[in-house]
Amino acid sequence: MEPAPFPQSRPRRLRRTAAIRAAVRETTLVPSQLVAPLFVKEGIDDAQPVASMPGVAQHSIESLRGEVKELRAAGVSSVLLFGVPSRKDDAGSEAWNPDGILQRAVRALREDHGDDLVLMADTCLDEYTVHGHCGPLRADGTVDNDAANDAYARAAVSQAEAGVDVVSPSGMMDGMVRAIRTALDEAGHAERIAIMSYCTKYASAFYGPFRDAAECAPQFGDRSGYQMDPANAEEGVREALADMAEGADVLMVKPAAAYLDVVHRVKQATGMPLAAYHVSGEYAMVHAAAANGWLDLDRAMAETLIGIRRAGADLVITYAAGWMARRLQG
């Protein structure tokens, strides 16, 4: 007698209830995988909302402390700080001022949270230069790569001495990770300070709202000469491999949602801890569409963030970190 044919599999059986779907879910997102980017501005007394980024503000040090306490209560344990100084110059020297706005904010948050908070700091110059580019300029208006690396190294050491756990060079200069790692090691921070490199950062149209918040729009030209061409994926993998070889501890792809293929390729090629930055324009456009009634804000934002995790990101840097963490708490 021929055996009876095996019953046809019906995947719908595992989709029937929310509890069953959760039990077989392939990709998860938890608050500890979220990183909240935060802006701290010199010379203000209260938080100032950023019009192009609903729910995001430029903070005073005191309002920043309150915001981080709320994030911690929601389970978010990592923040990425951007300083907005009141004084700018051609060199961006406030980036390494031991009493600069970012350094003071780092000390305040370390006092509040000790080692329970992962403190990351953006390590670049565009917020600190009068021209808005990511390094000192040559006479022809181009960024001086090696001078920029020297400045990043000074800024990284200053941030380390203020109390950060992770420095995050974002300028896309050749050799920036090596320069920073060397400076940190020589300053006695070889065992304590990690580097999260913006290794694969594209010259993207999705950064506009960030430049409102960080007050760092280029005063002329753009950053296409040092950020990556959006058409190139293999180059993004090569950049990641180069920064890994120079000593990066965490790699990053930026933007995230429009570059999920690159997130996946970099993770597969390196096996390194990988962050993906869900950038300001990607965040703002979900809010804008929801405000027009075109989609459901909560579902669209959550789907975007889980998609970034599914592509291979270990950390998701997002302005929706607090909202998503509270949603995950139920």
Q: What is the pTM (predicted TM-score) of this model?
A: 0.94
Could you please report the per-residue DSSP string of 146-178?
HHHHHHHHHHHHHHHHHT-SEEEE-S--TTHHH
| Residue of 41, 88, 201, 267 marked active site | 201
Active site residue 88: no
Split at pLDDT 50, 70, 90, the class of 40 is very high
Radius of gyration of the chain (CA): 21
pLDDT tens profile 233-277: 999 999 999 999 999 999 999 999 999 999 999 999 999 999 999
Ordered by start, the domain boundaries in the chain are: 29-251
What's the CA gap between 199 and 238, in Å, rounded?
9
Confidence at residue 4, expressed as pLDDT on a 0 to 100 scale: 65
What's the CA gap between 274 and 158, in Å, rounded?
25
Please say if the pLDDT value at position 2 is more than 80.
Answer: no
Q: How is residue 244 written in tokens?
A: 């890994």
| HSE-CB of 25 using CA atoms within 13 angstroms | 14
Contacts of residue 62, defined as CB under 8 A and 6 or more positions apart, other chains included, come to 45
pLDDT tens profile 66-108: 999 999 999 999 999 999 999 999 888 999 999 999 999 999 9
| Residue of 41, 88, 254, 267 marked active site | 254
Split at pLDDT 50, 70, 90, the class of 220 is low
Is residue 200 left, alpha or beta, with left meaning phi > 0 and alpha meaning psi from -120 to 50? beta
Active site residue 267: no
pLDDT tens profile 147-206: 999 999 999 999 999 999 999 998 988 999 999 999 999 999 999 999 999 999 999 999
63 in Cβ contact with 42 (< 8 Å): no
Could you please report the per-residue DSSP string of 103-161?
HHHHHHHHHHHGGGSEEEEEE-STTTBSS--SS-B-TTS-B-HHHHHHHHHHHHHHHHH
Report, at the CATH architecture level, how domain 29-251 is classified: Alpha-Beta Barrel (3.20)
Which residue's entry shows tokens 């930026």?
254
Q: Write the CA distances from 249 to 165, 198, 270, 287, integer angstroms.
A: 12, 11, 11, 33
